[in-house]
Amino acid sequence: MARKRKNIDRFPQSSEPPRKKRVSTTPLPDGVHHYQEVDEVPCDLQKYWHQGYSIFSKYDAGIWMTDDAWYGVTHESVANKIALHMAEVAPPKRSIIIDAFCGVGGNTIAFALSGKWKRVYAIEKDAATLACAKHNAEIYGVADRITWFHGDCFEILGASGKTEKTVEALTAITGQFGVIFASPPWGGPGYRTADVFDLESMQPYSFSYIYDSFKKLTPNQVLYLPRTSDLRQIAARVERGKKTQIVHYCTNGTSRALCAYLGDWAPLKL
Ligand SMILES: C[S@@+](CC[C@H](N)C(=O)[O-])C[C@H]1O[C@@H](n2cnc3c(N)ncnc32)[C@H](O)[C@@H]1O
């Protein structure tokens, strides 16, 4: 079930709101919306809706969102930049990417558009959110490059100890050819107010839980985390003698989030 992440505001700046024109008469699945008028938008989401095309430039083509997704979707410019960086510095012989928390597809679509990966595998626990991601990928013309999985990424990837829902073929190719991108929920106390965010308090999955779980498959991970994340906690997971890169992704000159490049990524030329 998608977590309601009140107070999570990854992109507080405003930009042009979506234009108001009806683009599709397709009935939407339960919990899925394509708001066209501000009065349709729940009050607590209106500021996000006003960010309009900075989230999905093709919003008017009929982008689908769940109400929860507005809080956590990666805005298109940031998703494209991350995809570009990951393509530039990917570890050798890594040709597939797993977006473990794909949401409504912000990052998944950017990875597919980058042309770097032979295949993009996208996992999402919430059915309505996954329906949005699939639909949005169609709008961006990249649906045929993505394989979707509905369920818990830790179970599907065989990293939870529960094997019933593990997709063994995915586990095997992830180990051999894969990198994992993870933009988990950032729930937890104090993430917006703390000067330094304790990554072990992140809910429902701590940084260590995510990193250690996925490390069973591959050390090559990029984790998308709050900009105030405690870098000492990330550094503590890096093997002795190795380095990691932390990249802040900004809009309007302000860091919105950081990515930790863990594993064998080449140095980024920034
Ligand atoms: C911050 S959002 C991801 C946003 C995404 N990058 C985008 O641009 O749309 C986190 C997503 O992870 C999903 N999620 C939470 N726990 C999960 C799990 N164990 N396995 C797969 N998805 C999960 C939530 O439903 C939510 O859609």
Span 228-268, pLDDT tens digits: 999 999 999 898 888 899 999 998 888 989 999 999 999 99
Which residue's CA is the nearest one to ligand 1's atom 3? 103
- Is residue 126 within 8 Å of 58, Cβ to Cβ? no
Ligand 1 pocket test, pick from 6, 65, 66, 101 with the greatest ligand atom count within 8 Å of Cβ, gives 101
- Residue 109: burial class (beta carbons within 10 Å; 0-12, 13-18, 19+): buried
Nearest 5°: the CA angle 116, 122, 125 is 160
Q: Which atom of ligand 1 is nearest to the CA of 102?
A: 5
Name the β-bridge partners of 124: 150
pLDDT value for 15: 55
pLDDT value for 84: 98
Residue 124: left (phi > 0), alpha (psi -120 to 50), or beta? beta
Pick the CATH number of 76-262 from 3.40.50.150, 2.40.128.720, 3.40.228.10, 3.40.640.10: 3.40.50.150
Q: Which atom of ligand 1 is nearest to the CA of 105?
A: 9
Nearest to 179 by CA among 111, 229, 133, 245: 111
For the chain, the straight-line distance linking the first and the last C-alpha, in angstroms and rounded, comes to: 38
Pair of tokens at residue 158? 């065989």
Alpha-carbon distances of 9 from 111, 248, 252, rounded to whole Å: 23, 16, 15
- Is residue 105 within 8 Å of 128, Cβ to Cβ? no
65 lines ligand 1 (CB under 6 A): no
CA distance 141 to 165: 29
DSSP state letter for 199: G
Pair of tokens at residue 254? 């302000």
pLDDT value for 181: 98
Residue 211, SS3 per DSSP: helix
Helix 106-114 to helix 76-89 angle (10° resolution) is 50
Helix 127-139 to helix 106-114 angle (10° resolution) is 40
97 lines ligand 1 (CB under 6 A): no
C-alpha of residue 207 to centroid of ligand 1, in Å: 14
Indicate if the alpha-carbon torsion angle 209, 210, 214, 220 is positive or negative: negative
Which residue's CA is the nearest one to ligand 1's atom 19? 152
Residue 210, SS3 per DSSP: helix
pLDDT value for 239: 85
State which residues of the chain have pLDDT below 70: 1-26, 188-189
